Amino acid sequence: MKKRHVFRKLSGLLAILALSSPTSAEVVLGDRSVPCAEDSACINRLHPDIPMVATADPGERIVFVSRDAFDLTLDPDEFSSAPAIPREGTGIVHALTGPVSIRGAKAGDVLAVKIESLEPAEVGWTEAGAFGFAGEQFGRDKRFIVWRINKDYAVSDALPGVRIPNASFPGVITTLPSERLLADILRRERELLEIGGAGLDLDPNEAQPSLLCGSEGTKAAECLRTIPPREHGGNMDIRYMTTGTTIYLPCYIDGCGLAVGDFHYAQGDGEVSGTAIEMGGTLTVTTRVVKEGPDLSHGPHYEGAASVLGIPSERFYAVTGFPLKEPGSIPANMAYLDSDRIAGLSNLSADLHLAARNALAAMIDYIVSEYGYDRAQAYIIASVVVDMRIGQLVDVPNVGVTAVLPLDIFVERGK
pLDDT of residue 412: 81
pLDDT of residue 25: 74
299-347 pLDDT tens trace: 999 999 999 999 999 999 999 999 999 999 999 999 999 998 999 999 9
Compute the average pLDDT of residues 264-277.
98
Per DSSP, which regions of 129-245 are E strands? Answer: 143-149, 153-155, 164-165, 169-174, 233-235
**Band (89; pLDDT cuts 50, 70, 90):** confident
Q: How far apart, in whole angstroms, are the C-alpha atoms of residue 313 and residue 50? A: 42
pLDDT of residue 19: 35
Compute the average pLDDT of residues 190-216.
95
**Band (257; pLDDT cuts 50, 70, 90):** very high
Compute the average pLDDT of residues 359-375.
97
**pTM for the model:** 0.92
pLDDT at 22 over 60: no
pLDDT of residue 179: 98
**Band (14; pLDDT cuts 50, 70, 90):** very low
- How much is the CA Rg of the chain, to the nearest whole Å? 23
Is residue 176 within 8 Å of residue 234, measured between CB atoms? no
Q: What is the CATH number of domain 23-309?
A: 2.60.120.580
Largest Cα–Cα distance of the chain, in whole Å?
Answer: 90
pLDDT at 6 over 50: no
95-133 pLDDT tens trace: 999 999 999 999 999 999 999 999 999 999 999 999 999
Q: Number of C-alpha atoms within 13 angstroms, CB side, residue 349?
A: 2
pLDDT of residue 10: 35
Compute the average pLDDT of residues 30-36.
97
Q: How far apart, in whole angstroms, are the C-alpha atoms of residue 256 and residue 221? A: 22
Domain boundaries, the chain: 23-309, 316-409
Q: Strand 61-66 vs strand 26-29: parallel, antiparallel, or unpaired?
A: parallel
pLDDT at 386 over 90: yes
Is residue 387 within 8 Å of residue 313, measured between CB atoms? no
**Band (23; pLDDT cuts 50, 70, 90):** very low
Compute the average pLDDT of residues 176-201.
95
pLDDT of residue 414: 56
Q: How far apart, in whole angstroms, are the C-alpha atoms of residue 166 and residue 264? A: 9
Q: Number of C-alpha atoms within 13 angstroms, CB side, residue 207?
A: 25
Distance (Å) of CA 285 to CA 37, 135, 309: 24, 35, 20
pLDDT at 3 over 70: no
Q: How far apart, in whole angstroms, are the C-alpha atoms of residue 342 and residue 350? A: 13
Residues above pLDDT 70, as percent of the chain: 94
Compute the average pLDDT of residues 380-401.
97
Encoded amino acid at 257, one letter: G
Distance (Å) of CA 209 to CA 90, 170, 234: 16, 21, 17
Nearest C-alpha neighbor of 361 from the set 410, 319, 393, 317: 319
Eight-class DSSP state of 407: G
Residues above pLDDT 90, as percent of the chain: 91
pLDDT at 226 over 70: yes
pLDDT at 4 over 70: no
Compute the average pLDDT of residues 81-94.
93
Alpha helix stretches (DSSP H) within 35-158? 135-138
Domain 316-409 has CATH 1.20.1630: no
Encoded amino acid at 140, one letter: R
**pLDDT mean across residues, the chain:** 93
Alpha helix stretches (DSSP H) within 61-106? none
pLDDT at 8 over 50: no
